[in-house]
DNA sequence: AAACCATGCAACCGCCAGTAG
DNA sequence: CCTACTGGCGGTTGCATGGTT
């Protein structure tokens, strides 16, 4: 039994948002916060469903959005997070301050997938295409370490939390390239040249290692839950992976680090002042749309 | 100049989980 | 418990735009 869309019962507008609608929604949320999404359209005088308002806010109107094209650094991070998290776009987005899951999903589907394929990497498994084509059954259990990307395939049902060595991100870790604690690690060989990246599989674990693994998992979880830690880790020790991406330092965005940004009711009133600096951060590739929104947002937030 | 095609992006759809009544 | 409602998420679609023939 298919349900009717939430916009169906009333004659609600669908499709692209007009600037007037944007302004109404922005002003309303600026003034009152979003509270209950389902009641927003009525309160704001919009002929939209609450879901649509929420989406518009999250994907476009939020003041902390970083607009413009993705940097190489961000693309790199997305690829690597995808290798770990799969299509959990919201979780990936939570690690990229100012980016939305929708944006990342679009980037992945339209751009990154292709890039990986061009490099001979299967975007689903993050394994070399040759290996994937040869069949999962035969040689795939014995990947060689050098020049391969033996990430275990994540298929549905979703895998357990990634047992990724925190070496990957932890700046305090000196990276032992000979072992890891989980099914996957990304590492960099001496010099950090992108072409020297080594991806490895886990070795069979000893009991001691299992204990360590638990610790590592904790660290990993902490890292994943903290964009700031993640950013710091990235700046200090980023895997200069085979994607051959130069890592540059990134301005530090303050976000609610306790969980994904979308799950925090009324998060922005407390943080908008810190988040607003995005407006004076020069975008690498500022676009007109971004400028418009910055102007609009500045008008709404900057002087109220 | 027009038609066609490819690409990127915004928004919708449907499912699911959490929760209040 | 059960039900309805709500928010969140991932997959998908449709449109606008730019490039090519």
Protein-to-nucleotide distance from the CA of A230 to the C1' of B1, whole angstroms: 53
- What protein residues sit with their CB closer than 7 Å to strand B? A 2-5, 7, 13-17, 48, 51-52, 55-56, 59-60, 69, 102-103, 105-107, 109-111, 114, 289
pLDDT of residue A7: 56
Q: Is the pLDDT of residue A287 over 70?
A: no
Q: Is the pLDDT of residue A112 over 70?
A: yes
A240 to A52, A72, A114, A167, A234: CA distances (angstroms) = 39, 11, 20, 13, 10
pLDDT of residue A120: 85
- A8 vs A115: which has the higher pLDDT: A115
Mean pLDDT on A294-304: 44
- A245 vs A133: which has the higher pLDDT: A133
| Whole-prediction pTM | 0.61
At A149, list the tokens: 């990307």
Q: Write out which nucleotides of chain C lie closer than 7 A to a protein Cβ.
A: 5-12, 15
Tell me if A19-61 shares its fold with A72-129: yes
CATH 3.40.50 assigned to A19-61: no
Q: Is the pLDDT of residue A204 over 80?
A: no
**Over the stretch A224-236, which tens digit does the pLDDT of each residue have?**
555 444 444 444 4
Protein-to-nucleotide distance from the CA of A11 to the C1' of C3, whole angstroms: 26
Protein-to-nucleotide distance from the CA of A287 to the C1' of B3, whole angstroms: 29
Could you tell me which CATH class the domain A72-129 is placed in? mainly alpha
Q: Is the pLDDT of residue A66 over 60?
A: yes
Q: Write out which nucleotides of chain B lie closer than 7 A to a protein Cβ.
A: 7-15
Check: CB of residue A225 under 8 Å from CB of residue A259: yes
pLDDT of residue A117: 83
Residue A6's pLDDT band (boundaries 50, 70, 90)?
Answer: low
Protein-to-nucleotide distance from the CA of A129 to the C1' of B5, whole angstroms: 28
Closest nucleotide over all strands to A262 (CA to C1'): C8
Domain parsing of chain A, residue ranges: 19-61, 72-129
Average pLDDT, chain A: 59
Protein-to-nucleotide distance from the CA of A66 to the C1' of B15, whole angstroms: 29
SS3 for A88-148 is CHHHHHHCCCCCCHHHHHHHHHHHHHHHHHHCCECCCCCCEHHHHHCCCCCHHHCCCCECC
């Amino acid at each position: 039994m298919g349900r009717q869309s939430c916009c169906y019962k009333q004659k609600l507008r669908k499709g692209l948002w007009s600037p007037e609608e944007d302004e109404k929604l922005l002003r309303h949320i600026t003034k009152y916060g979003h509270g209950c999404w389902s009641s927003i359209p009525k309160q704001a005088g919009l002929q939209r469903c609450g879901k649509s308002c929420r989406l518009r806010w999250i994907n476009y109107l939020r003041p902390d959005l970083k607009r413009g094209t993705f940097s190489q650094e961000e693309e790199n991070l997305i690829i690597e997070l995808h290798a770990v998290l799969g299509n959990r776009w919201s979780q990936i987005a939570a690690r990229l301050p100012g980016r939305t899951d929708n944006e990342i999903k679009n980037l992945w589907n339209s751009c990154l997938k292709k890039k990986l394929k061009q490099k001979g990497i299967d975007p689903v498994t993050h394994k070399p295409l040759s290996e994937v084509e040869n069949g999962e059954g035969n040689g795939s259990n014995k990947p060689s370490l050098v020049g391969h990307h033996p990430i275990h395939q994540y298929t549905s049902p979703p895998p357990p939390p990634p047992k990724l060595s925190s070496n990957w991100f932890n700046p305090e870790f000196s990276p032992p390239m000979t072992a890891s604690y989980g099914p996957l690690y990304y590492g960099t060989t001496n010099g950090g040249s992108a072409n020297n990246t080594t991806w490895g599989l886990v070795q069979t674990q000893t009991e001691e290692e299992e204990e360590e693994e638990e610790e590592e998992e904790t660290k990993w979880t902490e890292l994943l839950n903290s964009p700031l830690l993640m950013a710091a880790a990235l700046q200090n020790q980023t895997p200069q992976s085979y994607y051959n991406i130069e890592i540059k330092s990134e301005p530090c965005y303050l976000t609610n680090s306790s969980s994904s940004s979308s799950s925090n009711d009324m998060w922005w009133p407390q943080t908008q002042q810190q988040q607003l600096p995005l407006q004076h951060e020069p975008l690498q590739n500022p676009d007109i749309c971004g400028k418009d929104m910055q102007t609009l947002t500045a008008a709404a937030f900057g002087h109220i």
